Amino acid sequence: MKGFSLLIFIILLNVSCRLQESVAKTKYVKKNLDSPVMKLIGGHWFNGETFEKKTVWLKEGLINFKSTGKEVDTVIDVSGKYIIPPFAEAHNHNLESAYGLDKRIASYLGNGVFYVKLLSSIKKRIDPLMTRYNIPKGIDISLAHAPLTARGGHPVGLRKRYLDKGYFDGLFNSIEEIEFHGYVLIDTKEELESKWGSIMSFSPDFIKLNLLHSEEYEKRKNETAYFGKKGLNPKLIASIVEKAHAEGLRVSTHVETAYDFHVAVSAGVDEIAHLPEIKNGKPIHKKDVILAKEKGVVVVTTVSLVSKKQKSTNYQDLLNNIKSNLRLLKDEGVTMAIGSDMYNDNSSGEFQILNQLKVFSNLELLQMWTKNAVQTIFPNRKVGELKEGYEASFLVLDTNPLQDIAQIHKNIGLRVKQGVILK
């Protein structure tokens, strides 16, 4: 009898776990119950590879390829138009301040960018602005809040500079007060354990780690000359990843060098937040790229950062190295997402630079800016593709981007987000 009871318990436990797993996978699907029922006729819809002519219904903010059986509120003729998922910005920091916010949001939406990943933000600053985000008529954001770094590491120097300039008046009085808000200092496993609860109390959507020149970690860790130019002990990365994954959180890692890339990929991070060696002009190692592919690591491009080196005598060499590293990642099948890390711009500028480098086909660029970028921001939501039951968020283009992609963000005739037409 005890054996039978134990068997029943195990079966019920298994069913419960599967139900919880199912809920976890679907809880982020957004239904907009207030959106009208729409019918779009005559359009060519992107299926991930090419365009198919379809009639599509929108109900409760979701895509339907069959009639919903409900009375249609609006019929929209999109004959001769091309419908694609919205664009995304997989790396930026420019939405935590109220200063110029209307202009930045308008630029994102105007360029068809609906989704933004903020790789760091100060919760005290951004909390009052959250009514502007994650709504049908606004942009959706994913937040890491404070990145993990070493003492004297990046972005401690950046936070100190902004504190000295008065940017944090009314929020913080000293650099020490900014810890957990603008950075988290972790030098040992004991510190990781003791501070993990505080990190989680800020409810991050993912965890951000900073690795900078980790091949020189021992040389830089106690040198004041490297203040703000160093990051975590590379030996801690695997432990941090393990703790984050236990919480169901993905890990995004800032890297500078090929060795940083090696450390991050080997430790099992989910996303590389920068193309490595943008500033240093060195190749990344093929064996690490192959490992990144095997582990499903996403690499965010951020090649716009090279524009800061335009006056350098080795600028062309840096560009050539970037192209070489991008080709290696592409040839080995690593998933890449478009992100800029440009505070005064967004991923539309990053897309233009990538297009000019002539490394990727039009189809590859489209996938990088839509599906790949969106899904590394919101991996648990049905976004980034135009499929049955996915969120009814898309752009209607006047021209076929697979034939001519150069002006794609300027050929948007209609923007729809969760079944709502954006003005």
Digit-coded pLDDT (tens) for 328-347: 999 999 999 999 999 999 99
What is the C-alpha to C-alpha distance for residues 175 and 421, in angstroms, rounded to an integer?
44
State yes or no: cis peptide before 401, omega within 30 of 0.
no
Q: Which pLDDT tens digit goes with each residue over 259-287?
A: 999 999 999 999 999 999 999 999 999 99
* Mean pLDDT, range 380-387, rounded to an integer: 97
Whether the per-residue pLDDT at 16 is higher than 90: the answer is: no
Whether the per-residue pLDDT at 1 is higher than 60: the answer is: no
DSSP annotation string for 82-107: EEEPPEEEEEE-TTS-STTHHHHHHH
pLDDT for res 5: 44
Whether the per-residue pLDDT at 228 is higher than 70: the answer is: yes
Residue 279 has phi, psi (to 5 degrees) of -90, -20
Residue where the block lists tokens 């359009």 = 43
pLDDT range class, residue 246, cuts 50, 70, 90: very high
pLDDT above 70 covers a percentage of the chain that reads 93
What is the C-alpha to C-alpha distance for residues 276 and 281, in angstroms, rounded to an integer?
9
Q: Which pLDDT tens digit goes with each residue over 156-167?
A: 999 999 999 999
Tokens for 144?
């890491």
E-strand ranges in 307-422 read: 335-337, 394-397, 412-417, 420-422
pLDDT range class, residue 115, cuts 50, 70, 90: very high
pLDDT for res 170: 92
Residue where the block lists tokens 């996915």 = 390
pLDDT range class, residue 15, cuts 50, 70, 90: very low
Whether the per-residue pLDDT at 14 is higher than 90: the answer is: no
pLDDT range class, residue 24, cuts 50, 70, 90: very low
pLDDT for res 9: 38
Whether the per-residue pLDDT at 298 is higher than 80: the answer is: yes
What is the C-alpha to C-alpha distance for residues 316 and 324, in angstroms, rounded to an integer?
12
* DSSP structure class, residue 183: B
Entry field: residues in the chain: 423
pTM of structure: 0.91
Residue 255 CB neighbours (<10 A): 29
b/e 85-116 (16+ beta carbons within 10 angstroms → b): bbbbbbbbbbbbbeeeeeebbebbbebbbbbb
What is the C-alpha to C-alpha distance for residues 250 and 335, in angstroms, rounded to an integer?
15
Whether the per-residue pLDDT at 242 is higher than 50: the answer is: yes
Q: Which of 27-41, 50-64, 324-338 has the lowest mean pLDDT?
A: 27-41
* Mean pLDDT, range 70-81, rounded to an integer: 93
Residue where the block lists tokens 């602005």 = 129
Structural domains in the chain, CATH included, are: 38-83+391-422 (2.30.40.10), 87-377 (3.20.20.140)
Tokens for 318?
């840096």
| Measured CA angle at 89 (ends 311, 402), to 5 deg | 90
Whether the per-residue pLDDT at 3 is higher than 90: the answer is: no
What is the C-alpha to C-alpha distance for residues 219 and 278, in angstroms, rounded to an integer?
22
Q: Alpha helix (H) ranges present in 88-247?
A: 101-110, 123-126, 156-164, 189-201, 217-220, 237-246
CB 113, CB 342: distance < 8 Å: no
pLDDT for res 403: 97
CA-nearest of 189, 87, 96 to 148 is 189
* Mean pLDDT, range 101-124, rounded to an integer: 97
Q: How far is CA 232 from CA 15, 318, 365, 409, in A?
A: 41, 26, 33, 38
- C-alpha gyration radius of the chain: 23
* Mean pLDDT, range 239-251, rounded to an integer: 98
pLDDT for res 149: 98
Whether the per-residue pLDDT at 251 is higher than 90: the answer is: yes
Residue 356 CB neighbours (<10 A): 11
What is the C-alpha to C-alpha distance for residues 174 and 235, in angstroms, rounded to an integer?
30
Whether the per-residue pLDDT at 133 is higher than 70: the answer is: yes
What is the C-alpha to C-alpha distance for residues 277 and 292, in angstroms, rounded to an integer?
16
Whether the per-residue pLDDT at 6 is higher than 90: the answer is: no
**Strand partners for 417:** 420
* Mean pLDDT, range 34-48, rounded to an integer: 93
What is the C-alpha to C-alpha distance for residues 279 and 281, in angstroms, rounded to an integer?
6
Whether the per-residue pLDDT at 10 is higher than 80: the answer is: no
pLDDT for res 116: 98
Mean pLDDT estimate for the chain: 92
What is the C-alpha to C-alpha distance for residues 203 and 293, in angstroms, rounded to an integer?
29
What is the C-alpha to C-alpha distance for residues 134 and 278, in angstroms, rounded to an integer?
32
pLDDT for res 29: 57
CB 116, CB 340: distance < 8 Å: no
pLDDT for res 190: 98
Whether the per-residue pLDDT at 13 is higher than 50: the answer is: no
pLDDT for res 57: 97
pLDDT for res 421: 96
Whether the per-residue pLDDT at 53 is higher than 60: the answer is: yes
